[in-house]
């Protein structure tokens, strides 16, 4: 039997949960509750940025992480795809390493590479030295959320955080990794140290999500981008307890909790078991098959292959129609990509996909 981690305490907070704005008819929230809205709702991961010319113009000369801590800029970037595409939800412009940067970890986003850590975290001293995240350190992000709640009208806002495993992978590997060899080696060789690290990162994620929810976010998504590198056995032993702590810690807000990872077709049930209300499905598993694996009463999100946004319209239209039809097997379905919008996508194609989904 593997090492069973001690459950560390979730950061203390007031028992009072702020009142939420009422959006009873928002199709995104209706579907997330497992009900049937008047249309299939749609939003896109990474819709805020990258593919939009107005985003590139606004960000010119501004480093990514600087933009994430500028309330007016992050609010404007978050609003851009809502104005252009008429999607059914806005997703906060941010990055999964924002709370680490805010806490004082020496990490940066290198163009063309991704998050890079100055000093990888691979021993007990480095884990002990990791700073905790305090709410005031992400006050600028919360301020941006407040601006968005005032400006979005009837469109819900999704907040998000990186899951403990993915954050740990960046810290241990020192940046993006194909094989996650250092992470897996530490996980199996030093399980107590791994659980200490993952527990600290769960605390970071909880603090970051609560800051967004206290400021008015209407839903949250926990991204475990690299969890697909794990077997289900390893996921349940080393990852599930910590992701569960994160999602349980925000249950009192009574907002939909989404959980998503790439290449996680074999982990869908385990990721649902982490207290997720909605399971994100990437393009590798058809939605009706994902629903079958999840027991038939699932609420799912997905799952167009982002690369097909570059295909001819007849090809893309057929794929969208197929996915919407497969999604009818679920108790609730929110149309999305199976990962994020690629940088070179024609934004007019995204707008056309939204119009098609809404017409179905």
The answer to whether residues 80 and 228 belong to one domain is yes
Copy the structure tokens of residue 333. 């379905």
Distance from C-alpha of 225 to C-alpha of 201, rounded to nearest angstrom: 15
Copy the structure tokens of residue 159. 């907040």
User: What's the confidence (pLDDT) of residue 1?
Assistant: 42
Instruction: Let me know if residue 183 belongs to a domain.
Output: yes
User: What's the confidence (pLDDT) of residue 254?
Assistant: 95
Q: If you compute the radius of gyration of the chain from its CA atoms, what whole number of angstroms results?
A: 19
- Is residue 359's pLDDT more than 90? yes
The conformational region for residue 90 under phi > 0 = left, psi -120 to 50 = alpha, else beta, is beta
Q: What is the pLDDT of residues 256-310, one digit of tens each?
A: 999 999 999 999 999 999 999 999 999 999 999 999 999 988 999 999 999 999 9
**Whole-number percent of the chain with pLDDT over 90:** 86
Q: What is the pLDDT of residues 185-211, one digit of tens each?
A: 999 999 999 999 999 999 999 999 999
Look up the domain containing 253 and give its range.
55-277
How many C-beta neighbours within 10 Å does residue 6 have?
11
Q: What is the pLDDT of residues 211-262, one digit of tens each?
A: 999 999 999 999 999 999 999 999 999 999 999 999 999 999 999 999 999 9
Backbone angles phi, psi at 342, to 5 degrees: -80, 150
User: What's the confidence (pLDDT) of residue 12?
Assistant: 56
Average pLDDT on 97-125 reads 91
* 357 or 117, higher pLDDT: 357
User: What's the confidence (pLDDT) of residue 263?
Assistant: 95
Annotated active-site positions, please?
Answer: 46, 50, 59, 95, 170
CA distances (Å), origin 331, targets 140, 245, 275, 279, 334: 37, 25, 17, 12, 10
The answer to whether residues 216 and 271 belong to one domain is yes
- When pLDDT is cut at 50, 70 and 90, the band that residue 4 belongs to is low
Instruction: Let me know if residue 152 belongs to a domain.
Output: yes
The answer to whether residues 242 and 324 belong to one domain is no
**Residues 142, 214: contact at Cβ < 8 Å?**
yes
Instruction: Let me know if residue 7 belongs to a domain.
Output: no
Instruction: Let me know if residue 48 belongs to a domain.
Output: no
Helix segments in 33-163, DSSP class H: 53-59, 64-68, 71-85, 98-103, 124-129, 139-151
Return the beta strands (E) in 183-272 as ranges. 219-223, 257-260
Closest by alpha carbon to 7, among 236, 197, 199, 270? 199
**Residues 58, 48: contact at Cβ < 8 Å?**
no
Instruction: Let me know if residue 249 belongs to a domain.
Output: yes
Distance from C-alpha of 37 to C-alpha of 167, rounded to nearest angstrom: 35
- Is residue 329's pLDDT more than 80? yes
Copy the structure tokens of residue 128. 């002990």
User: What's the confidence (pLDDT) of residue 22?
Assistant: 83
The answer to whether residues 71 and 134 belong to one domain is yes
Domain end call among 225, 244, 277:
277
The count of structural domains within the chain is 2
> Which 3 state secondary structure label does DSSP give 151?
helix
**Residues 101, 65: contact at Cβ < 8 Å?**
yes
- Is residue 10's pLDDT more than 70? no
């Amino acid at each position: 039997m593997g090492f069973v981690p001690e459950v560390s305490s979730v950061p203390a907070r007031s028992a009072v949960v702020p009142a939420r704005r009422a959006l009873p008819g928002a199709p995104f929230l209706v579907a997330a509750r497992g009900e049937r809205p008047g249309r299939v709702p749609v939003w896109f991961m990474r819709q805020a940025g990258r593919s939009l010319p107005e985003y590139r113009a606004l960000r010119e000369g501004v480093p990514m992480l600087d933009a994430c801590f500028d309330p007016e800029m992050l609010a404007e970037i978050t609003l851009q795809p809502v104005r252009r595409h008429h999607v059914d939800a806005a997703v906060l412009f941010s990055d999964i390493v924002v709370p680490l940067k805010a806490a004082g970890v020496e990490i940066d986003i290198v163009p063309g590479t991704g998050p890079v850590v100055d000093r990888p975290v691979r021993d007990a001293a480095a884990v002990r030295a990791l700073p905790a995240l305090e709410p005031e350190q992400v006050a600028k992000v919360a301020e941006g959320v407040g601006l968005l709640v005032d400006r979005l009208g009837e469109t819900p806002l999704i907040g998000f955080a990186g899951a403990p495993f993915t954050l740990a992978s960046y810290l241990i590997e020192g940046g993006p990794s194909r094989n996650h060899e250092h992470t897996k080696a530490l996980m199996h060789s030093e399980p107590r140290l791994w659980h200490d690290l993952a527990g600290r990162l769960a605390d970071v994620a909880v603090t970051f999500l609560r800051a967004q929810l206290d400021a008015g976010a209407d839903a949250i998504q926990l991204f475990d981008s690299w969890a697909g590198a794990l077997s289900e056995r390893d996921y349940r032993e080393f990852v599930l307890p910590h992701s569960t702590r994160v999602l349980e810690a925000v249950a009192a807000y009574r907002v939909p909790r989404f959980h998503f990872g790439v290449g996680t077709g074999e982990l869908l049930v385990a990721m649902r078991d982490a207290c997720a209300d909605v399971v994100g499905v990437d393009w590798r598993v058809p939605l009706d098959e994902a629903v079958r694996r999840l027991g038939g009463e699932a609420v799912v999100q997905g799952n167009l292959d982002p690369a097909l946004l570059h295909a001819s319209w007849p090809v893309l239209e057929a794929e969208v129609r197929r996915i919407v039809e497969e999604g009818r097997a679920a108790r609730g379905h929110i149309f999305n990509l199976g990962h994020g919008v690629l940088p070179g996508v024609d934004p007019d194609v995204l707008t056309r996909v939204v119009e098609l989904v809404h017409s179905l």
